[in-house]
Amino acid sequence: MPTQPRLVLASASPARAMLLRAAGVGFEVAPSQVDEEALTAALRPVVAVTDLVAHLARAKASDVAAGLAADNAVVVGCDSMLEFEGLAHGKPLTADAAAERWRRMRGRTGVLHTGHHVIRITDGVAAATAHAVVSTEVDFADISDAEVDAYVATGEPLHVAGAFTLDSKGSAFITGVRGDHANVVGLSLAGLRLLLQQVGVEWTDLWTADSQG
């Protein structure tokens, strides 16, 4: 059995892949086939936002782990949502929804929650799991109607949790972040390191040869 496990990211998110790559971590991408919209619709009325992202992260990791042919691997599932006005806000999907959301959020504060779920596969079976939700406060600039319309027209906010990004066009519209910056981008690197330790994997063992100099 190899000493270094395969790290498998159960997500097609370019932002999450970018974070891992920038941190020098070697990984593979295997997007889950979980129907996020259906699962969210079923759970949203009855659970807190933190429970919702935790459940979705677990579902994604479990889906990928179930179909993974591996003797030594770690699957990482994540899900992010913005809590604003006590409600969960995922991807708006339409321009009208994104614009309406920004007109309510501007000049105010929300909390971005990201659920993380890790499954360690040893000898072909799920040998250990760990999970956590990391939460970060985000302050939104009081942008104009013209700025809202221009941002929505780019298409960027339609397909990201909370209708904003911290690492692209939306970054100029964020005036403050209290907590884990990477968590807002897509996943908490510091939180993931601790979860990996819980399933017997050291973060430094995942560094690629190039990242070690």
pLDDT given at position 64? 96
Whether pLDDT at 171 is above 60: yes
Region 174-194: mean pLDDT is 97
Count CB-CB contacts under 10 A for residue 53: 29
Query: What tokens were used for 29?
Result: 């991408």
* Dihedral over Cα of 35, 152, 102, 133: its sign: positive
Instruction: Indicate which CATH number applies to the domain containing 80.
Output: 3.90.950.10
Q: 60 is in which domain, residue-wise?
A: 6-206
Q: How confident is the model at residue 155 (pLDDT cuts 50, 70, 90)?
A: very high
More confident residue, 50 or 37: 50
Domain-embedded: residue 33? yes
What is the per-residue pLDDT for 192? 98
DSSP run (H or E) holding 194? helix 189-198
Query: Which pLDDT score is estimated for 210?
Result: 61
Quote the CA–CA distance of 66 and 47 in Å, as a whole number.
Answer: 25
Q: 213 lies in a domain?
A: no
**pTM (two decimals):** 0.92
Catalytic residue among 35, 79, 139, 205: 79
Distance between CA 190 and CA 194 in Å, rounded? Answer: 7
pLDDT attached to residue 47: 84
Please give the pLDDT value at position 213. Answer: 42
User: Is 79 known to be catalytic?
Assistant: yes
First to last CA, the chain: 26
What 3-state DSSP class applies to 136? strand
In a domain, 40, yes or no: yes
11: confidence class by pLDDT, cuts 50, 70, 90 = very high
Per-residue pLDDT at 91 exceeds 70: yes
DSSP 28-91: EE------HHHHHHHHTTTS-HHHHHHHHHHHHHHHHHHT---SEEEEEEEEEEEEETTEEE--
DSSP 163-183: G--SSSGGGGGEEEEES-HHH
Whether residue 212 is contained in a domain is answered as no
